[in-house]
Amino acid sequence: MAAPFRIGIAGLGTVGCGVIELLKKNGNAIADRAGRPIRVVAVSARSRMKKRICPVKSYRWASDSLDMAADPKIDAVVELIGGQGGVAKRLAETTLKAGKPFVTANKALLAHHGHKLAMLAEKHGAPLMYEAAVAGGIPIIKTLREGLAANNISAVYGILNGTCNYILTAMRETGRDFHDALKEAQKLGYAEANPSFDIDGIDTAHKLNILSMLTFGIKSEFKDFRTRGITCITLQDILFAQELGYKIKLLGISRRIKNKIFQSVEPCLVPADSNIGSVEGVYNAVHVEGDFSGTELSIGRGAGGGPTASAVVADIIDLARGRKVLPFGAPAEYMKKAARAGAEDVFSRFYMRLEVVDRPGVLAGVSAIMRDHGLSIEAVTQRGRDPGKPVSIVMTTHMVKQKDMEEAADFIAAIKSVIKPPSLLRIEHF
């Protein structure tokens, strides 16, 4: 058998320790599949004295993780530190400039600097591997870059954040409001103490940006994303959606609309009996629509030490085998900014919930605004009858232009009897 493939790991949190545990437990099988043993020879983290879930005393400690990039006794550097800049970014740049393979699970780093790092990797002939950065244990990067390489992809979309999917599932199944469901997710370890990256949609947007670059070969700017999280979703919305035969899911969507690319992260209604509607709890799901492959669906755990470590080690095995692939499937120099589709290009059905004072003429006023914007109403539901008091009205539309719907919602919000801005969600039938 060939000489061991030697790696250095920067970052010894849940995923870093997961990689060490996986290589120990399945080392013999991994060596058979890689054609050579894989050995951890050096590790680095912020604190050497911190108590960890994995023993690291048998590995050489690198007080500065950047030293691993130049170490001739290390064949590849594995970055599991996290964060879009700082040490993680410097380690990536230093490793790639040294012509050494770089493996990362860092979605923020790639979402913000992926194209520049790909250019650097190709210039210096150094593989840049990042399977673990998107959807954890789902091999979506390899699927898009290699398995579906012969296809023209029209869309990639799905549930890319297990925390949000868990919260929305818990709200529907238990009748709890958003804040109670979030507290439970934190208690179970599915949400961080500061959950804003998850619930505000930032984590999903990071992942979708990476998928967009890979799928469409574009230089995508994270700051241009239309991003909304789930903090606006109430139990009322969950229950109304259920009555209408839908579930609410936080979706990341990237798709071609004529010669433009539409990218959004926002909660949407999906049919309850659809493939994506059936994905519950902490699970992720990614759909890919190819012209020859048709629609591919992948489901799995999107986070956690085990699934993410599995994806990291899969990349290491590829490197040990001597495999090299372009980071985004095509030369980075060919990646250009794409024309971006806006609300004026998107047609969809919509769900709109209003909180109004129950008095004569309110619904007529709302309907008149919808008519003036050329919007066709499919159905109207009012819950309760309490003159002078707040009641809920829910409308669904036929296919309408998103720009027109959003403008109408702004006018409706200005009606005196409307208590708060409308809750407006797209209805997605994929």
* Residues acting as catalytic residues: 207
CA separation for the pair 365, 411 (Å, rounded): 10
Check if the beta carbon of residue 145 is closer than 8 Å to that of residue 134. no
Secondary structure element (H or E) that encloses residue 359, with its range:
none
Using CA atoms, how far residue 227 sits from 63, 209, 216, 311, 370, in Å, is 38, 11, 19, 27, 25
Q: Which of 364, 341, 354, 362 is CA-nearest to residue 409?
A: 354
Task: Label residue 201 left, alpha or beta by phi (over 0 means left) and psi (-120 to 50 means alpha).
Answer: left
Order of strands across the sheet with 102-104?
60-61, 38-44, 5-10, 76-79, 102-104, 128-129
DSSP conformational letter for 231: T
Instruction: Please report the sign of the dihedral spanned by the C-alpha atoms of residue 299, residue 302, residue 306, residue 307.
Output: positive
Distance CA 284, CA 11 (A): 25
Both tokens assigned to 414 = 């200005």
**211 token code pair:** 């998928």
One-letter identity of residue 3: A
DSSP structural state of residue 145: I
Token pair belonging to 147: 């398995």
Q: How far apart are CA 70 and CA 85, in angstroms?
A: 20
Residues 99-116 as b or e (16 or more Cβ within 10 Å = b):
ebbbbbbbbbbbbbbbbe
Strand duo 76-79 + 102-104: pairing: parallel
Q: How far apart are CA 56 and CA 150, in angstroms?
A: 43
- 225 Rama sector, left if φ>0, alpha if ψ -120 to 50, beta otherwise: beta
> What is the Cα–Cα distance from 114 to 103, expressed in whole angstroms?
13
Tracing tokens 């539901």 back to the chain, one arrives at 381
